[in-house]
Homo-oligomer: A and B are copies of this chain.
């Protein structure tokens, strides 16, 4: 069972599409007609969003049948059937687009994440997401990252301290910002700070930062930072990360590499619903 906030977002999306009704289906399909529909992967992908896909139809019709052939987070080869829906044909047609919009986006994020994760599998590093998600869809986007093997960074501004350049400027220095965060922010949260060069790393270390985010630093510098820190803080690298550069960055020994593109620029996967009237 999906949580209430996810269900609310699903209802919102469904009725954004449905409006006062589906004029085409109401005109051409008998309310009694039954059918079945197979969700087919039209390209290789990592599956994410199947419970959401299912819930879209349940919102319209409690009697819809559902059988899954793959588990969330698993690779699905092009051409394979992901799941089967059975029940009122009109329900299937009315929910189709909304359900596909969710699962295509979510599987797109999972698939892209998996590509990054696979690139660095030999390194012991991990792939982190960011808060660069589609507005209103953060729970879905971050869930999809997990299904792709990625690790979630903060869900929002309240469940992690992350000092950025503007906080540093406001506080006066990295050291002052870290000290303020240590003292004023919840003691259950680690203190993470962004830095731009090795001097920043040293200052963050001296101030006792738990996590240091190396922003837009060249690989050689990242490597030097790893050496300098020597296990006294966790290191993240971000900025300019893509599928070509991620492995070299991860090989420096940083704890994690964060990739905004996972959620702001993943391409939707091609999944299609093949429907047969009963």
Contact = CB atoms under 8 A, between A and B. Distances in A.
A23 interface: yes
A188 B22 CA distance: 15
A234 B187 contact: yes
A1 interface: yes
Contacts of A134: 101, 105, 134, 137
Interface string A162-184: 11101111110000010011011
A151 B189 CA distance: 13
A157 B21 contact: yes
Contact of A102 (B135, B153, B157, B168): B135
Interface string A251-278: 0000110001100111110000001110
Nearest to A14: B4
Interface in A178-199: 180-181, 183-190, 192
A70 interface: no
A15 B5 contact: yes
Contacts of A256: 187
Interface in A1-40: 1, 3-5, 9-30, 33, 35
* Total identical chains: 6
A180 B29 CA distance: 9
Nearest to A160: B188
A231 interface: no
Contact of A158 (B9, B18, B157, B187): B18
Nearest to A92: B166
Contact of A171 (B29, B170, B181, B187): B29
Interface residues of A, number: 102
B23 A189 contact: yes
Nearest to A159: B159
Given A170-B29, A267-B265, A161 B188 contact: yes
A132 interface: yes
Contact of A192 (B30, B152, B188): B188
A119 interface: no
Top-6 shortest CB links A-B = A13-B135, A27-B184, A160-B188, A19-B158, A264-B268, A159-B159
Interface of A: 1, 3-5, 9-30, 33, 35, 59-62, 89, 92-94, 97-98, 100-102, 104-105, 108, 131-140, 142, 151-164, 166-171, 177, 180-181, 183-190, 192, 210-211, 234, 255-256, 260-261, 264-268, 275-277
15 contacts: A12-B135, A13-B136, A16-B138, A17-B157, A18-B157, A23-B160, A24-B163, A24-B181, A27-B185, A33-B170, A35-B166, A135-B140, A159-B160, A162-B188, A187-B234
